[in-house]
Amino acid sequence: MSVYAIESAPTSRVDLEAALDRRFRLFIAKLPQAVLEKSLKLSDREALAELARSAAEAARSIEIENQEAIAEMRARSFVRVRERCELLESKDLVRILGITKQALSKRIQAGQIAVYTNQSNGRKYYPAFQIRDNKVRPVIAELISEFGVDPTDQVAMNLFVQHLITKIDYSNPSEPENIVEMHTLMDDPAARRIIKREWDNKYLHGR
C-alpha cells in the first residue's frame, strides 16, 4: 500500500461505512441475481457467508475455464503439427538412426535434433522431415543455432517446429503462388534467409 493510500484512507465512521458500502455494492454487482435472492432470505451472518461462497465458486469456475482453454489450445497445436508433418516416436527414431536412447538424449540436448513435446501429456515426438538417409540433416542443428533456440526449452523448441511447418508463398511477385512449408526450403540458402527473417519478425521483434 502506498503512503498516499494510507494518508487518504477514511478516518471517521461515516467515511468508513461509505467506503465499505461502495466496495460491497461493487462486490454484489458481480454476483448472479439468484444468489442475491437466496441471500435475502437468510440471516445477516448467513447471507454474508453465502455471498462469499458464491464469489469463491465463481472465481474457481473462471480458473477452471482458463485451464480448459489452455489445454484445448495445446491439443490444437499438437493436432496442427501432426497434420502438417509425420511425427516419429523415440523408439522409431533410435531404430532409424541406429543409436541408443541415451545417445538420442545427448544429441537432443546438444541441439542436433528437433523435438516437439505434446504439452497435454508430455510425450515427445520428432518431425520426420529432419531425417534423410537414416541421418539427421545437419541443417537442423544449424537452424537451431542460428535461431538461438535453447534445445532444453520445450516451448522454444515447439515454436521452432511450428515455424518450420508454417506455409509461405515462395514465389517472385511476377510468378504464380508457390505455397510451401518452410521445412521444404531448408537446403536453399536464399530461402533460409527468409525463414530466419520470418522467425526474427515473429518471435524476436514481437510481431
pLDDT of residue 16: 74
Question: Which of 48, 66, 81 is the last residue in one of the domains?
Answer: 81
Instruction: List the domain range (segments joined by +) for residue 26.
Output: 10-81
Q: What is the CA radius of gyration of the chain?
A: 28
Residues 102 and 39 in one domain: no
Does the residue 27 lie in any domain?
yes
Does 39 map to a domain? yes
- 64 lies in the same domain as 97: no
Whether 75 and 98 map to the same domain: the answer is: no
Non-local (6+) Cβ contacts of 172 within 8 A are none
**76 and 91 fall within a common domain:** no
Query: What is the Cα–Cα distance from 143 to 127, expressed in whole angstroms?
Result: 14
pLDDT of residue 2: 39
Q: Please tell me the predicted confidence (pLDDT) of residue 161.
A: 96
Count the domains in the chain: 2
pLDDT, position 5: 42
Backbone CA torsion sign across 52, 58, 64, 70 = negative
Identify whether 3 is part of a domain. Answer: no
Nine cell digits for residue 102:
541415451
Query: Which ranges in the chain belong to alpha helices (H)?
Result: 3-7, 13-29, 33-40, 44-84, 90-97, 101-109, 138-147, 154-164, 189-199
Residues 183 and 103 grouped into a single domain: yes
Which of 81, 96, 119 finishes a domain? 81
Residues 93 and 71 in one domain: no
Residues of the chain with confidence (pLDDT) below 70? 1-10, 17, 20, 29, 44, 47, 58-75, 205-207
Dihedral sign for Cα atoms in the order 199, 204, 205, 206:
positive
- Residues forming a β-bridge with 91: none
Asked if 98 and 66 sit in the same domain, the reply is no
Instruction: Give the domain-ending residue among 59, 81, 103.
Output: 81
Residue 80 DSSP one-character state = H
Write down the pLDDT at residue 75: 64
Residues 61 and 106 in one domain: no
Phi–psi pair at 132, nearest 5 degrees: -145, 130
Exposure string of 190-204, with b = 16+ CB inside 10 Å and e = fewer, is ebbeebeeebeeebe
The one-letter code for the residue type at 122 is G
pLDDT given at position 104: 96
pTM flag (> 0.75): no
